[in-house]
Structure 1
Amino acid sequence: MAINTYAHLTSSQCITCQVHAGYSINVPPSVRVQEGLCVTIPCNFTAAYRNTFSNSFGYWRREPPDSYYIVATNDKSSPGRKPNFYLTGNPDTGDCSLKITNARKEDAGIYFFRFEENKNSPVKFGFNDKAKTTVTVIDLTEEPVISDPWTVIAGINKTLTCTPPGNCSATALVIQWKKSNVAGVWENSSNVTFTPSLYDLQENITCQMTNSNRTTTEKTILLDVCCPPAMIITWEIKEKKRNKATSITVNEGSSVTLRCSLQSNLPLNMTWMDGKNDILQHGTGTELELRLGNVTMNHTGTYTCSALTKHVINFTSINVTVQYPPRNMEITIKSSKGREHSANRQVVINQTDTLTFTCKVDGNPAVSVVWVKGEVDTEIPKTSNSELSAMINVTSSMPDVYRCLAWNALGLKEQRIHVKQGNPEKTATPWSGDIAIGFVCGMGITILILLLYKLTTRKKWTKKVTYMTSEEPSASMEPPIQDIYMNVNKPKEKAEEATNNNIQLDSPGVTLDDLHYSTVAFTTKSSKVPSSHLETVYTEVKVK
């Protein structure tokens, strides 16, 4: 970066100069900058008694022998401009500050500022009378700056940054790193990242800075690698010795004390947290306890102790596992016919059915689960199958008491099912009776509808259909029960009969083609009808 050195003023020199009525400038008469570094020349001015303008332009020029060459401006249409000179000020606010980067020997010279309000304004002025600035470029002597070299922790990545002095982005400088326990150049960059270890203790790290004239300066630091304080967690349960471990198993209902200790002489901020990063305990010192009383399943998890040092947070953890006897036993009963039974203490099985009993249970340590048939006491096997469920199939030939047994080192749990033979429709489900009642009611309604339909249909036929015959039935002939006979004679065959019976054929709308004769007999009982009782009935039928 850069270093600014201002010359002392003499009687003929000034920092603020009134060079003309209404025109003044405040600028240092001389500055010095080291080769390869940067310098900012502060500058502000007034023109026409004002320091606020619009769309104005500023120009920094170099005096002869460069024929007033423009080195920096905000006028993009202006030729010239040196690549390492920048007008950083805004002329619209009366700011004419100039910045020089990567200073070179040939940049030395005398410079002055010229102002133009805009292209069409008469306010134009060159501050080249008693308001010049002399720039001197001297040899590079300043050392580079290494950022934050004092917080080096073993095992934690560290980044060091080497920069030129004076807050300057000097791109022409070459930065290199060297390390006393590494041969040659360690890194060619302004930044270096490494993981320090105890072997780096008291080692030298050097940053070298070289300009375009091959002048080199350097800065060396001595690594002071420190270690985070060691942390240990011990636990203590009633009637058990205090131990060091990364995990612990606790029986449900008991209490345990977790103790976090620091191997440090300085008191530090310490914190106990659970797996959800909730703070459970906080304190300052070298030891912090956490007591878990009346432990339940909810206490299972990871507990972390952390300590905040000046430069780093150190932490260590312990896993707590809670043991409990078998619990949450669940029995399901499914029929081979796809029906699911409620797990009552008594179940009825049909002769054609097979029931599958499944028993599930929870527990820690691992639970062993078996089905046992009968009421006889059974000795728990010494070996564990470490299964959380067991299954058995039961048929109608196997009525008995079935027991689900689940056990681990902390206890035993049992549940019984009594299986009986019988009609599952009567007792298997509470809603089987409702189904039967619904079925009977449905059948009754169906039969009633059919009877009503048949009666209605029969009445229609009784009104509209007659027995029709061309000859009178003989006396010995017995009409069939519920049979309907129909014979429609031609008009000519019955015309004479109609005449004999005084039937008027000349009635309006009646012709011989429209006249038909039939004999109709209705019988509902098996009885003989003498021919002498038979009567012929004539009716008029119109065809529409």
Structure 2
Amino acid sequence: MRHIKLSSTIVSLMGILPLLWIGVTCHRIYEPGYSITVASSVSVQEGLCVSIPCNFTANYKTTFTGSTGYWIKEGSNPRYIAASNDKSKPGQKPNFHLTGNPDTGNCSLTITDAGSEDDWSKYYFRFEKGELKYGYNKEVTTRITVTDLVDEPVISDPGAVIAGVEKTLTCSPPRNCPATSLTFHWKKSKVPDIWRENSSNITFTPSLDDNKTTITCEMSKYSWRTTKKSIPLVVYSPPVITITWQITGKKNKKKIIKLDPIRVDEGESLILKCSVESDLKLNVTWTDGKNNVLQHGIVKELELRLDNITIYQTDVYTCSALTDYVISTASISVIVPYPPRNMEISISSKDLPASHHVNISETETLTLVCRAEGNPLVNVIWVKGETDVEAPKASNIGSPAMINVTFSEADVYRCFAWNVNGFKEKRIHVDKIKDYPVKIAEQTAGGFTISYLNVLIGFICGIAIAVLFILLYKLIGRKKHSKNKEYMKAVEPSANGDPTADDIYMNVSEPEHKDEEATDSNGQLDANGVAPDQEEELHYSTIAFTAKPNKVPSSQPESDYAQIQKQ
């Protein structure tokens, strides 16, 4: 029976011990409206950290504004505040932190770098908001238990370790705890003593000899309390990159060790092939000199095709083999040679492009500039007539050639540009002018040159034409006036002052007679020329006096000739 009771007691203790280790959560209500949910006991390893969840209500509420919270050591007098969010009453234990927000009913506590001085101590939460103040020590207190350090440290993932490529490893406490009072040492197999000490990070360059060695990190609170973690190293050989190429049917293969230019003529096609030898799974890419990705893939071989090559594809092309931790590269330069082209001459002193001829006055100095493109870079020189102005040694490789020309040096100037692929020449005539010409500003509109001189000449011509039209108009007017005068003279009155019959009736027109109205049904007329059954018809005529008659003497009555009736 005693044996049975002892076994039952052991079983009961084994069920309770885990609760003591991880903490027992209690929810107690001592006064209505006030409650708290928090572990009554918490265990933490020395040097490590622990978070204690906590929630509360005050006056039946869980939300507040501007409230403060305090974790206070039980039995302390005056109150020993371990942690708080009150700036006027800060916590006195640097490793205790009120991480919850009392305004939301959260009173969670975090303990870092636990020490022996924290062992077997009790703490409770207190809430304050204006006149509302309440300590939850009557409901529950939380006991902190500090045990020996037993958990292993954590070593960061080394990833792919490649010989010759620098690698960094980090050793840290478990559960992301800060390593405030912990120390770290590194050991490596094949090295009898400590490899690196007093550092949580280690940086080294592995070699193939390090393959299958073991790296160990030791974490200590004190020299007699130490835990450790070991990882094996697998060291890979660095990727070997080989670039081969093919140009319009000609196949060339070469392992790239340094930049080795490939010369490709315009219009040809080029195929670049990148081959990678490695035990790793690599992402292979082709990029140009501006790091633009031209081709990519997780493959062992990757081709880049450049069809119908132009001069603008002269560049450095790079093949890269990448993992998440390492990159290996190889590059090759592609050159598209061409003779001098886009040659131009300008006058920098006037900031104008030059034509075949340019004038220079006695006080001027012209600066002639010659530019040209080419690959490889062109040599550029100026030649005056048949005499060299500058020796070829002074030619400008890849930059414009400049020369100053004065009035006395006016002549034909030739610009020569050349490289291994060809030669080009361009010339300009510098002509003397002794007097300054009238400078006429010009503007260009719609592709036509508009000269202000032409506008002035046109304006003068327009005025001349207008004057000519006015003179012609006046001449024609004078001729008409003369004809009127001659007409008036032809119709002057008689000498005695009385108008003649011709003068009076000169504009009287004979009335017209219609045959159908002048005949009767039998075509008979009477003695007066009127049909028997018709009344006599009146005839009217208009008189226009072409000349003003002389005044009739006052002794004679004036006659009015308003209407003439013809019988």
The alignment's TM-score, normalised by the length of structure 1, stands at 0.60
Give the partner amino acid of 1:103: A
Alignment pair present for 1:150 and 2:147:
no
How many angstroms apart in 1 are the aligned matches of 2:18 and 2:310?
79
Give the partner amino acid of 1:271: T
User: What is the match of residue 364 of structure 1?
Assistant: 375
Alignment pair present for 1:51 and 2:62:
yes
The alpha-carbon deviation at position 128 of structure 1 amounts to: 3.2
Out of 292, 297, 314, the position equivalent to 2:311 is 297
Does the 8 A contact of 1:154 with 1:228 survive in 2? Answer: yes
SS in 1 for 2:184: strand
Does the 8 A contact of 1:6 with 1:32 survive in 2? Answer: no
How many angstroms apart in 1 are the aligned matches of 2:185 and 2:438?
90
User: What is the match of residue 200 of structure 2?
Assistant: 190
Does the 8 A contact of 1:6 with 1:31 survive in 2? Answer: no
Q: 5+ residue gaps in structure 2?
A: 1-15, 387-391, 442-452, 454-567
How many angstroms apart in 2 are the aligned matches of 1:316 and 1:125?
70
SS in 1 for 2:267: coil
User: What is the match of residue 235 of structure 1?
Assistant: 245
User: What is the match of residue 539 of structure 2?
Assistant: none
Relative to structure 1, is the Cα distance of residues 249 and 59 closer, same or farther in structure 2, using a 3 angstrom cutoff? same
User: What is the match of residue 225 of structure 2?
Assistant: 215
How many angstroms apart in 2 are the aligned matches of 1:143 and 1:392?
82
Does the 8 A contact of 1:162 with 1:190 survive in 2? Answer: yes
The alpha-carbon deviation at position 287 of structure 1 amounts to: 1.9
The alpha-carbon deviation at position 171 of structure 1 amounts to: 1.0
User: What is the match of residue 28 of structure 1?
Assistant: 39
Out of 87, 105, 121, the position equivalent to 2:98 is 87
Out of 10, 15, 29, the position equivalent to 2:26 is 15
Alignment pair present for 1:42 and 2:56:
no
Give the partner amino acid of 1:135: I
The alpha-carbon deviation at position 280 of structure 1 amounts to: 2.8
The alpha-carbon deviation at position 73 of structure 1 amounts to: 3.9
How many angstroms apart in 2 are the aligned matches of 1:22 and 1:402?
104
User: What is the match of residue 203 of structure 1?
Assistant: 213
Does the 8 A contact of 1:15 with 1:27 survive in 2? Answer: yes
Out of 134, 137, 144, the position equivalent to 1:135 is 144
The alpha-carbon deviation at position 174 of structure 1 amounts to: 1.8
Does the 8 A contact of 1:38 with 1:170 survive in 2? Answer: no
User: What is the match of residue 170 of structure 2?
Assistant: 161
Out of 117, 120, 126, the position equivalent to 1:115 is 126
The alpha-carbon deviation at position 154 of structure 1 amounts to: 3.6
User: What is the match of residue 172 of structure 1?
Assistant: 181
Matching of residues 86-485 of structure 1 within 5 Å = 86-118=97-129, 120-121=131-132, 123-129=133-139, 131-180=140-189, 183-212=193-222, 214-238=224-248, 240-244=250-254, 245=256, 246=259, 247-264=261-278, 268-330=282-344, 344=356, 361-365=372-376, 408-413=419-424
Q: 5+ residue gaps in structure 1?
A: 375-382, 439-544
SS in 2 for 1:8: helix
Give a deviation string over 1:39-86, Cα, whole Å, max 9, x none.
22222222332223444444434445x668635242556598434333
How many angstroms apart in 1 are the aligned matches of 2:129 and 2:414?
103
SS in 2 for 1:95: coil
Give a deviation string over 1:159-211, Cα, whole Å, max 9, x none.
32221112222412222333446653514222233333434333332222211
How many angstroms apart in 1 are the aligned matches of 2:263 and 2:110?
70
The alpha-carbon deviation at position 141 of structure 1 amounts to: 1.0
Does the 8 A contact of 1:341 with 1:429 survive in 2? Answer: no
How many angstroms apart in 2 are the aligned matches of 1:417 and 1:60?
94
The alpha-carbon deviation at position 242 of structure 1 amounts to: 1.0
The alpha-carbon deviation at position 25 of structure 1 amounts to: 1.9
SS in 2 for 1:27: strand
Relative to structure 1, is the Cα distance of residues 391 and 117 closer, same or farther in structure 2, using a 3 angstrom cutoff? closer
How many angstroms apart in 1 are the aligned matches of 2:271 and 2:33?
83
Relative to structure 1, is the Cα distance of residues 84 and 295 closer, same or farther in structure 2, using a 3 angstrom cutoff? closer
Relative to structure 1, is the Cα distance of residues 295 and 111 closer, same or farther in structure 2, using a 3 angstrom cutoff? same
Relative to structure 1, is the Cα distance of residues 32 and 403 closer, same or farther in structure 2, using a 3 angstrom cutoff? closer
How many angstroms apart in 2 are the aligned matches of 1:71 and 1:361?
82
How many angstroms apart in 2 are the aligned matches of 1:118 and 1:432?
90
Relative to structure 1, is the Cα distance of residues 326 and 84 closer, same or farther in structure 2, using a 3 angstrom cutoff? closer
Does the 8 A contact of 2:121 with 2:145 survive in 1? Answer: no
SS in 2 for 1:15: strand
SS in 1 for 2:250: coil
Give a deviation string over 1:268-315, Cα, whole Å, max 9, x none.
543322222233334442222222233232111112223333433433
Does the 8 A contact of 2:48 with 2:114 survive in 1? Answer: yes
Give the partner amino acid of 2:309: V
Give the partner amino acid of 1:173: L
How many angstroms apart in 1 are the aligned matches of 2:358 and 2:103?
98
Relative to structure 1, is the Cα distance of residues 254 and 8 closer, same or farther in structure 2, using a 3 angstrom cutoff? closer
Relative to structure 1, is the Cα distance of residues 347 and 190 closer, same or farther in structure 2, using a 3 angstrom cutoff? closer
How many angstroms apart in 2 are the aligned matches of 1:58 and 1:341?
82
How many angstroms apart in 1 are the aligned matches of 2:380 and 2:285?
42
How many angstroms apart in 1 are the aligned matches of 2:417 and 2:91?
94
Does the 8 A contact of 2:156 with 2:171 survive in 1? Answer: yes
Taking only aligned residues, the RMSD between alpha carbons, in angstroms, comes to 4.9
How many angstroms apart in 2 are the aligned matches of 1:361 and 1:91?
77
Give the partner amino acid of 1:33: V
Matching of residues 484-495 of structure 1 within 5 Å = none
How many angstroms apart in 2 are the aligned matches of 1:189 and 1:47?
47
User: What is the match of residue 467 of structure 1?
Assistant: none
Give the partner amino acid of 2:267: G
SS in 2 for 1:298: helix
Does the 8 A contact of 1:52 with 1:92 survive in 2? Answer: yes
Does the 8 A contact of 1:89 with 1:95 survive in 2? Answer: yes
Give a deviation string over 1:116-145, Cα, whole Å, max 9, x none.
434633x5243335x233322211111111
SS in 2 for 1:32: strand
Relative to structure 1, is the Cα distance of residues 403 and 169 closer, same or farther in structure 2, using a 3 angstrom cutoff? closer
Give the partner amino acid of 1:164: P
How many angstroms apart in 1 are the aligned matches of 2:187 and 2:333?
45
SS in 2 for 1:166: helix
Number of paired residues? 407
How many angstroms apart in 1 are the aligned matches of 2:105 and 2:119?
25
Does the 8 A contact of 2:186 with 2:194 survive in 1? Answer: no
Matching of residues 505-544 of structure 1 within 5 Å = none
